[in-house]
Structure 1
Amino acid sequence: MQGTVDGFSYGLVTPVVAYLMACLGGALGLRCTTRSMLVTQSWRPGWLALGSAAIGSGIWTMHFIAMMGFTVEEAPIHYDRPTTYASLGVAVVMVGIGIFIVGYKGARGAALFTGGTITGLGVASMHYLGMAGMRLDGRLQYNTLTVAASVVIAMAAATAALWAAGQVRGFAWSVGASLVMGLAVSGMHYTGMAALSVHLHGTADPAAGESPAALLAPMMIGPLAFLCLAGVVVLFDPLMIMGKPVPRADPKPGVPAHPPLTSTPRRRPGRPANVHAHRTPQNR
């Protein structure tokens, strides 16, 4: 029996909130990536790790907020807890690999392509692993071409977002990059959901897993709290906001920016400093 799938049970509420969460995670993560390019090598891994966790948490939170609005009218849906946790780990690890490549090699050329591809694949892997954690009295089936399109969307948009983050041109660039990152996650998610069809065996309550209200709502507290903490770090770091070190103020008119590099020659006691300059032709 073909199940009736509804991905918008709450109208536009879940898609809009999910997109905003993806943008928030992307903004914090990409900002940390930009910040890592402005610090010494010893601090760089910490900023990149924080960025990876922020983007991964944003991706995971976006997905399951969107899934709160997903229903199959003829059958209840449960979620497997270990698989759901594993999807969060996959998102953080794969996104982290892509971000570390860009953070150390730069947002250009082969490094950008490789980092963006791995980050996009991390978004897609998180989505389909999260979908694999669904439990219902039936099976899920995907259209291959639509799935491929969703993966391409994720890789292309993630590459564009990492490129924008690597420009280190200030806060406006980071906002644009976060919007693109949110588009990558949301676009991939809903394209992947469009590829889904559900074939039901019956309408019984699944024996395994937990209901969305019992599992997803408490599980989202942790990632949301982490995103808030990362947001505090961003707000209290001026370089995170400006995107680059603030240049020193221009010197006052008539005052040189740096002292002259020439030195005054030492003179003997009792002898004028400019004795040679005051000698007349008659005295030479």
Structure 2
Amino acid sequence: MADALLKVTGIYKSFAGVRALQDINLTFEHGRIHCLVGENGCGKSTLIKVIAGVYERDAGEIIINGKSFEHLSPIDAIQEGIQVIYQDFSLFPNLTVAENIALNKELAEGRRFVNWRRVRQIATDSLERIEVDLPLDALVEEVSVANKQLIAIAKALRQNAQLIIMDEPTSALTEREIRALFAIIRKLQERGIAFLFVSHKLNEVLEISETIIVMRNSKIVSSGDRSEYDSTRLIYEMTGQKIADKAYDFEPDMSQPPLLRVEGLNSSDLIHDISFELRSGEIIGVTGLLGSGRTELALALYGMLPIDSGTVEIDGEQV
């Protein structure tokens, strides 16, 4: 077994008398990919924030790099190499890529003004560690979600990260972007950096993980090597229920009129020429990337977004 980078023992945390974490015992090793899964509300986010020093634990011990911390602060965690990449990335949208990566680094070199050449060099060196080339002078608000993820990783590496915690890192990524992210994670793992990957996407958990941790109702109900798990076991331990893997064949009755008919729907520059029909018992899925118009379509159908042209019929009556 590799040397322990982080060890938490007997961790408890409550909010207003409600137990959020109960007797959490975990060990994180250098150069290993750990995955944390569990239903919403099981305590995953609370555990992350306790490890990162954001929340003060009620009881238990936290040991990082062999040092026990009675009161772990966020600065303590960062100095010991614990970095968290939250879903919003915690980046400054109005600053450049280079500025975000080099932020908090001593840049002035004893002078009153920032050494911008050094800022760019720090950013370049950090991006080279993950073999990524990004426009250093671009504002973060102008880059894609996938590139924001890479900027956050580069920033973590610049702060000498030893354990990078990633909270739902693939939720807004395309399949191609997920492949690229996983390749970077594996490269960094080979260099001794550990990861805690938090996700609801079980197929990705089973693909990327070496160790799996399952939480339910504020407790660790299971942890072990990836080889011990499949999707059926993960679902059972997350929910406490056995979910039958059934396939349901359903064909809507096309002889019946649709409950909802949308034809040629347009709204400003947000949605264009949307047409579909929905029949009784039928489920229609709407998918697309962030900004593709999914939310705007729902708002238009609900009457919360003005419709420029097109028709919406419910039970044959135009609304």
Higher relative CO (Cα under 8 Å, sequence separation at least 6) belongs to 1
The structure with the larger Rg is 1
Q: Higher strand fraction: Structure 1 or Structure 2?
A: 2
TM-score (norm 2): 0.25
Q: Higher helix fraction: Structure 1 or Structure 2?
A: 1
